[in-house]
Amino acid sequence: MENATWRELITDALQGNEESWSDIVSITLSDAELDVEFDRGHGEVNGKPFTAWTTNYVYFPLCYDGAEWCGSAPRNPNGQALDHQGGREDALR
């Protein structure tokens, strides 16, 4: 079992985009929901669905074969193509 919270996984994604929690302008999870621990490993989807917005990115849950993590996409057109979503976690960071 590989436990995590959305707060931890979103933090990783924010840092990957050189952002922080202070950049979040809206999120669909409450503080309590951000801290719910769930099994993010292979198996069933356990994390609550969410969307979070910063000025520059939109963050959302990704899943492949039951493994969960946080993905992101630019909020505005920037001419950059995204990799396939929902595949290998290491390829999407």
Under 8 Å between Cβ of 10 and 34: yes
Q: Is the pLDDT of residue 93 over 80?
A: no
pLDDT at 3 over 50: yes
pLDDT at 91: 46
Nearest to 19 by CA among 56, 63, 68, 61: 56
pLDDT of residue 32: 98
Q: What is the DSSP letter of 84?
A: P
pLDDT at position 88, please? Answer: 58
* pTM, to two decimals: 0.88
* Both tokens assigned to 4: 């995590």
> Using CA of residue 89, residue 19, residue 11, residue 59, what is the dihedral sign?
negative
